[in-house]
Amino acid sequence: MIKCRMPVIVEGKYDRITLSALLDGTILETGGFGIYRNRELMEMLRVMAKKTGIVILTDSDAAGFQIRNHIRSAIQEGTVIHVYIPDVYGKERRKAAASKEGKLGVEGLDPATLEEAFRKAGIGTEEVADPGEPVTKTDLYLWGFTGTDGASERRRQLLLKLGFPERMSANAMLGAINVLYNREEFSSKLSSWFPTGEEDSHEFPGC
């Protein structure tokens, strides 16, 4: 069971039903794109973000990212934690056909996958006394994941290794990486994931 003192924001009731089986905490629904018209809910989320912080858990498709980005851009103060689910292709049982992008939403994922997504966001894990140096934007550039030829493809491969959706932006990816690893740990991971000689490899220096 995942324990979370911050309310978790999901898109719809089936997401809430799936998540409620493994989350001990508050789950709120956006009603899909209804969040755009629901001023009361949006204001409540702003208040919660300042008081307790909120967690956003949406699908990994375009609609999910649009809803996630809308909420994040509307909240100027407080804490917003993003939980990203991986791209898993398939069809939910209750649906006659797969979604437009063919990906499972939150409602269609198994408990282990959801628990892992929360763990990667730092929820349900113990605090580390000395987290070490964080990975920076400069590191991502030097390691060839931004601002260089082929960076987009290398970033896509990295997101696949990390188990994050391919639509995740470089900034969001950086934030997620720093929840999981410090710079030294991540450098070591990169060396094992992308050994020297693989494609046009970049060196991944340690701290």
Task: Using the predicted structure, report yes or no on whether residue 207 has a pLDDT greater than 70.
Answer: no
Task: Using the predicted structure, report yes or no on whether residue 93 has a pLDDT greater than 90.
Answer: no
Q: What is the pLDDT of residue 204?
A: 52
Q: How far apart are CA 63 and CA 99, in angstroms?
A: 11
Within 8 A by CB and 6+ apart from 70, the residues are: 35, 36
Mean pLDDT over 36-57 rounds to 92
Sorted by where each begins, the domain ranges of the chain are 2-120, 137-193
Q: What's the CATH class of domain 2-120?
A: alpha beta
Query: How does pLDDT run across 108-135, given as a tens digit for each residue?
Result: 999 999 999 999 998 874 444 566 899 9
Query: How does pLDDT run across 147-160, given as a tens digit for each residue?
Result: 989 999 999 999 98
Sign of CA dihedral 115, 120, 121, 125: positive
Q: What is the pLDDT of residue 199?
A: 43
